[in-house]
Amino acid sequence: MHLDETIAAISTPHGTGGIGIIRISGERTFQIAEKLFTGKKPFDEIKTHTINYGKIVNPINGDMIDEVLLTKMKRPHTFTREDVVEINCHGGAVVLLRILELVVKEGARPAEPGEFTKRAFLNGRLDLSQAEAVIDLINAKTIEGSGAAAAQLEGKLSEKIKSLRSRLIGLIANIEVTVDYPEHDIEEITGREVYENAGAILESLVKMAESFDKGRILREGIRVVIAGKPNVGKSSLLNELAGKNKAIVTNVPGTTRDIIEEYVSIRGIPVKLSDTAGIRKTDDPVEKIGVEKAEGAIEAADLVILMLDASQGLDDDDKGIIGKLSGKKIIYIINKTDIADEAAVLKIEEQVKQREQRIIRASMLSGKGLEELEAAIEELFIKGNITINNEVLVTGVRHKNLLDMAAASLKEACRAYEGSMPLDMITIDIKNAAEYLGQITGEAVSEDVVREIFSRFCIGK
């Protein structure tokens, strides 16, 4: 990446919309905009951080491309800490491409994925964990996940990590002073202080790493799979929980052939809900693929809602599914209780009754059992206590892994002290811990890692 180059991209989604935005950032931004934009006043007289009405005109032939609103933003008070112009035009694909082509002809180059945010990182506007929060905020599927990403973008995680890393660097400095000046004979005192402080930092790292499960739920939602044989009411349950007709519901068994997913919030808990194909023995090759996908989704699920048909009783297909759920969190839904007699329902309950498994009587036709199901999900997952507040949550796998590695290094340092190892040996593990924490915020990270992170961004952000 060459920071002296000016970059440009369409920052709104592809397709037709009311408004589209072209973003330009870099050294020649204002020079390019001046050639293309015609407004009420000369471009150099436009005040920074103001929106101005005008037209984008082809400088070669004078043809007007579109009426636009142009925002001029002078560095360093911009997202990239470079001169930035955003052109708000009509959201047609042709209009956006014509304006972008003019911008490129005048000296900009097309931006790479995530390059605006990458420049914000390289120019010190954001650290690496905050930059990662940008893509999490864009991709958030729930209000709670959006809030967690916003908290990380605000710098809550960064502040905690930088504080702990600063304390580690202080320990390293104390050790090096002791090693360099042995005549002061303070190694024993320094060693004990290092051990106690390293232990306290280790405790903080472990606590942060333990927040990952909660953070993952906020980011991705609980993975809940609705399973069962065909025509037991799985799609009806998905529609009830989602509040809309997402899945096709018919009396024909095997209607659902693929996995249908929907993000919903159940009592404040973000849930990624998957309706799967009915699981049964079949010779239909298409239905077989659906069954295989359903079994794969069950394997990856945090919770399985297994639906049973009260009017038909427990058959071999039901028992086969139950046999595949070993070790899973399960909520049994006995559906169609409105058309089944009490004896049949009691028999099913007795057959599936297991320790710590919830069994709910339901009727998708009347909505019976839905509130009880929501309460059961709430009880299973942190009892609804999935909130952000002022808690520092770890939501990324990369951050979790680096925290684990930093914690492991500090454990080694503590063990080395307990084994009466010299201080200069202990400092190696403490330096490793500081290195791992630096990789979270970008203070100590390779270009390959940075490139990989920003390759996941969309073009224009």
Q: What percent of the chain has pLDDT over 70?
A: 88
pLDDT in tens, 18-36: 999 999 999 999 999 999 9
Superfamily of domain 7-111: Probable tRNA modification gtpase trme; domain 1 (3.30.1360.120)
Sequence-distant (6+) residues with CB within 8 A of 298 are: 225, 227, 276, 304, 324, 325, 328
Q: How confident is the model at residue 146 (pLDDT cuts 50, 70, 90)?
A: confident
Indicate the SS3 state at residue 109: strand
Model pTM score: 0.74
pLDDT in tens, 432-458: 999 999 999 998 888 888 888 888 888
- Structurally, at CATH architecture level, domain 131-211+393-454 sits in Up-down Bundle (1.20)
Half-sphere exposure of 184 (CA within 13 A, CB side): 13
pLDDT in tens, 88-101: 999 989 999 999 99
What pLDDT does 257 receive? 47
Which pairs count as long-range contacts for 49-57, CB under 8 Å and 24+ apart, including other chains? 49/73, 49/74, 49/77, 51/88, 56/87, 56/89, 56/99, 56/102
Q: Are 240 and 258 in contact (CB under 8 A)?
A: no
Mean pLDDT is lowest, of 63-72, 163-172, 219-228, for: 219-228
Q: How confident is the model at residue 396 (pLDDT cuts 50, 70, 90)?
A: confident
CA 449 to chain centre: 18
Question: 131-211+393-454: same fold as 7-111?
Answer: no
- DSSP structural state of residue 248: -
Can you give the residue ranges of every domain in the chain?
7-111, 131-211+393-454, 221-384
Higher pLDDT: 307 or 144? It is 307
Phi, psi at residue 307, to the nearest 5°?
A: -95, 135
Which residue shows structure tokens 């239909």? 284
Residue 391, token pair as written in the block: 């808690």
CATH number of 221-384: 3.40.50.300
Bridge partners of 269, per DSSP, are: 266
Residue 11, token pair as written in the block: 């920052």
Q: Are 151 and 138 in contact (CB under 8 A)?
A: no
Half-sphere exposure of 192 (CA within 13 A, CB side): 3
Q: What is the mean pLDDT of the chain?
A: 85
Residue 410, token pair as written in the block: 């500090």
What pLDDT does 248 receive? 42
